[in-house]
Amino acid sequence: MAGERSDEIVVVGGGVVGLTTAVVLAERGRRVRVWTRDAVEATTSAVAGALWWPYRIEPVALAREWALRSLEMYEELAARPEPAGVRMVEGVLGETRLDEVDGWLAGRVPELRAATAGEYAGTGVHARLPLIDMPAHLPWLRQRFVAAGGVVEARTVSSFAEADAPVVVNCTGLAARELVPDPSVRPVRGQLVVVENPGIDTWIVTTDAAGEYAYLFPQPGGLVLGGTAEEDAWSSEPDPATAEAIVRRCAALRPEITGARVLEHRVGLRPTRPAVRLDREALPDGRLLVHNYGHGGAGVTVAWGCAEEAARLVGG
């Protein structure tokens, strides 16, 4: 077995970070298998919003590089005719002044300017950003990976020693808390409500006076409303009162949402860490282990940049 697979890489984790990392490695000619506990449609990534925006992620300097590289990739994917689940969509970051947006984004983010009164009632910043439809994007990533010669296997891993390859890449997200083990990995619970879209074609992200999030993302499957950021909350069951509050906050931004038919409730546990872990270490038996986890709610935003850095650490 070891002899047959002496040049293989096992990527553990089938969310957006794991699949994107696997794609980069496979397209560079490496033999790659993805081991995932859940089908890609059942991962935390599958319930993400998912708007490209460098939000609450450390280390800041590296996260900027990873985010900008990912922005390039999403812009390219949005321009392709193939259905990658990526669109460039206009919207407003509410309760934010233009001078509060980091200068490194100026000149790089399309249509970055102060929002007009017609676009947003308060102070906001307008931009055109990648909006990723995760139920479409994750299967597309998997298909691209398989087309490059990769293999996806349903495996639950209790130890990296189980991976029968000389290189293992850890993209396990929240599971890294037990698997590494790394107690600094903590869940930040996010709850979303998907409703029938009453005709909204722009996104809004804002925070109200009480510090509660309100955001709405027009996706092909409906209007995604959010959200929450509950630290150290492990429940994956939707809470009805929370769902009602989410709809109420979003309807305050766009009254036409009031009474929209609810299509789906979603809950995801963001794998948060004080800083992303992207480094390499030797396993006890001398094999190489590359870590790529702890992205919190910014996994989509930095996925391609982190994947390329992980590939560099692998030596691919």
172 is an annotated ligand-binding site residue? yes
175 is an annotated ligand-binding site residue? no
pLDDT tens-place string over residues 98-132: 998 888 898 899 999 999 999 999 999 999 999 99
* φ, ψ dihedrals at 254, nearest 5°: -135, 95
Instruction: Identify the bridge partners of residue 280 per DSSP, sorted by sequence position.
Output: 290
User: What tokens appear for 250 in the block?
Assistant: 């979003």
92 is an annotated ligand-binding site residue? no
96 is an annotated ligand-binding site residue? no
Q: How would residue 6 be classed by pLDDT, with cut points 50, 70 and 90?
A: low
23 is an annotated ligand-binding site residue? no
The whole-number average pLDDT for the span 146-171 is 96
Query: For residues 16 and 134, is the Cβ–Cβ distance under 8 A?
Result: yes
Q: Is the pLDDT of residue 209 over 90?
A: no
Give me the architecture of the 8-314 domain, per CATH: 3-Layer(aba) Sandwich (3.40)
Instruction: Identify the bridge partners of residue 216 per DSSP, sorted by sequence position.
Output: 204, 225
300 is an annotated ligand-binding site residue? yes
157 is an annotated ligand-binding site residue? yes
Residue ranges with strand state E in the chain: 8-12, 31-36, 86-94, 113-114, 124-132, 151-154, 167-170, 186-195, 203-207, 213-219, 222-226, 230-231, 262-282, 288-295
299 is an annotated ligand-binding site residue? yes
55 is an annotated ligand-binding site residue? no
Cis amide linkage into residue 311, ω under 30° from 0: no
Question: What whole-number distance in Å separates Cα of residue 297 and Cα of residue 54?
Answer: 9
272 is an annotated ligand-binding site residue? no
Taking the domains of the chain in order of start, what are their residue ranges? 8-314
Q: Which of 167, 173, 138 is nearest to 276 (CA)?
A: 173
User: What is the model's pLDDT at position 5?
Assistant: 56
Tokens 């009164």 correspond to 117
What pTM was estimated for this model as a whole? 0.95
Question: What whole-number distance in Å separates Cα of residue 100 and Cα of residue 90?
Answer: 19
236 is an annotated ligand-binding site residue? no
45 is an annotated ligand-binding site residue? yes
* φ, ψ dihedrals at 149, nearest 5°: 100, 5
pLDDT tens-place string over residues 20-71: 999 999 999 999 999 999 888 888 888 888 999 987 789 999 999 999 999 9
